[in-house]
Amino acid sequence: MAPELIAGRYRVERELGRGGMGAVWLCRDEMLGRQVAVKQIGALPGEAADLARALREARSSAALQHPNVVSVFDAIDEGETIWLVMEYVPSRTLSQLVRDDGPLDPRRAAGLGAQVAEGLALAHDRGTVHRDVKPGNVLVKEGDHAKISDFGIARSNTDDEHRTQTGLMTGTPAYFSPELARGADPTPASDVWALGATLYAAVEGRPPFPSRDNAIAMLMAIAHDRPEPPRHAGPLAGVLGHMLDPEPDARWSMARVARELRAVAGGRDDSGDRAAAATAPMTAVAPAVVPEPEPEPDPAPTPAATPAATPASAVGAAGTADRRRGIWIAVAAVVLLVLVALGGFALLGGSEDDQAPAADDSSATPEATGDPSDDTTASSAPTADGSSAAPEETEDPGNDADVSGSDAEGVVSDYYAALPQDVDTGWATLSPDLQDEIGRDSYDGFWATISSVSIQEVDDVGDGVVDVTLTYDGGSRETRRIEVGPVDGDLRILSDSVVG
Q: Which are the catalytic amino acids?
A: 132
With CA atoms as reference, report the closest residue to 134 among 159, 111, 162, 105: 162
Amino acid code (one letter) for 429: T
Q: List, in order, residues 6 or more apart from 74 with CB less than 8 Å away.
A: 62, 83, 84, 85
Q: How many Å apart are CA 346 and CA 267, to the nearest integer?
A: 41
- Residue 39 known to bind ligand: yes
Burial string for 21-43 (b: 16+ CB within 10 Å, else e) reads bbbbbbbbbeeeeeebbbbbbbb
With CA atoms as reference, report the closest residue to 201 among 270, 104, 283: 104
Using DSSP, state whether 176 is helix, strand or coil: coil
E strand or H helix at 81: strand 81-87
E strand or H helix at 37: strand 34-41
Roughly what angle, to the nearest 10 degrees, separates helices 327-342 and 440-448?
50
Q: Is the dihedral of CA 344, 190, 443, 327 positive or negative?
A: positive
Annotated binding site for ATP: 39
Annotated binding site: 39
